Amino acid sequence: MLVADAARRLAAAGVASPRVDAELLLCAVLGTTRTALLTLGEVAAEPAARFAALVEERATRVPLQHLTGTAPFRHVELSVGPGVFVPRPETELIAGWVLERIADLNEPTVVDLGTGSGAIALAVANEHPGARVVAVERDPGAIEWTRHNAATRAAAGDTPVEVLAGDMTDPQLLTELDGRVDVVVSNPPYVPDGAGLPQEVADHDPPLALWGGPDGLDVVRGLLGTAARLLRPGGRLGIEHADQQGTSLPELVRRHGRWAEVTDHHDLAGRPRYTTAQLTGHHPAR
């Protein structure tokens, strides 16, 4: 009855997945799993009150992950909250693409530009222990979450990820790695200016993680130069994008002139989700 009442409250507030959210909030309060809820008895007054308070916050469209404090991403659990972009399940696909590209390399170097919570970088380090992974973030608020998550994963035994404060469009970023990186990956700000967003996103995700200029591709234009400089010849680039950029972003990459095998990929719902490419030619002399 507790979960059912909460689900009705969340549904009335317009939450997209009211039953699941109610169950996950109760799990967070009780420190248990959704499976265990099937045999749950009566909930004591104090945790029931905490649960009710969380449900009311969720009804105001505070992100679920801000209330639970965590977001799962592939095989890692990340701490998230105000000031950092909440990683989405669809981004797991581009992390998987990175891992496929480096699977046969003993000590690959991967750079994650605009890492936010560190989701892609930390998933790569978790699943490829031999990789050197550099995570770059410019938002002072977000990078504190990156550092926290990187320290947590390193303490759990994962290969440490190097966290760097920097702008992915900066011509001086990571110049010591010029021509030495195997994969550059990014989930950059790509929302076109003025686009409508769900309340959870508009009110709670940091603006630096969202807005990408009139067509949403301003940051991508800058990161293409960075990626071309960092990658070794034959190195790979992966960029996540909005549903409506499945044509425009690959075209932008092709026009840049340094990329071959430019391919767009769909997510599990069949929506355009990320573009990949391979660096051609020799690295230009500096």
Residues 80 and 220 in one domain: yes
The CATH number of whichever domain residue 172 belongs to comes to: 3.40.50.150
pLDDT of the residue at 3:
92
The residue count of the chain comes to 286
Residues 257 and 118 in one domain: yes
Regions of the chain where pLDDT drops below 50: 283-286
Query: Tell me: the pLDDT tens digits for 251-272?
Result: 999 999 999 999 999 999 999 9
pLDDT of the residue at 282:
54
Between helix 2-12 and helix 45-59 the angle, nearest 10°, is: 20
Residue 173, SS3?
Answer: coil
Residues 93 and 234 in one domain: yes
Residues 74 and 172 in one domain: yes
Residues 33 and 75 in one domain: no
Query: Tell me: the pLDDT tens digits for 147-156?
Result: 999 999 999 9
Residue finishing a domain among 60, 88, 106: 60
Strands 70-73 and 76-79 turn out to be: antiparallel
- Cα→Cα distances 200→80, 192, 224, Å: 14, 17, 30
- List, by residue number, the catalytic residues: 85, 187-188
Element (H, E) at 233: strand 231-240
Question: Per-residue b/e over 196-216, b at no fewer than 16 CB within 10 Å?
Answer: eeeebbeebbbebbbbbeebb
In a domain, 13, yes or no: yes
| Enclosing domain of residue 124 | 70-279
In a domain, 65, yes or no: no
Residues 118 and 191 in one domain: yes
- Cα→Cα distances 91→10, 86, 88, 185, 187, Å: 26, 11, 6, 11, 8
pLDDT of the residue at 121:
98
In a domain, 189, yes or no: yes
Residue finishing a domain among 60, 81, 101: 60
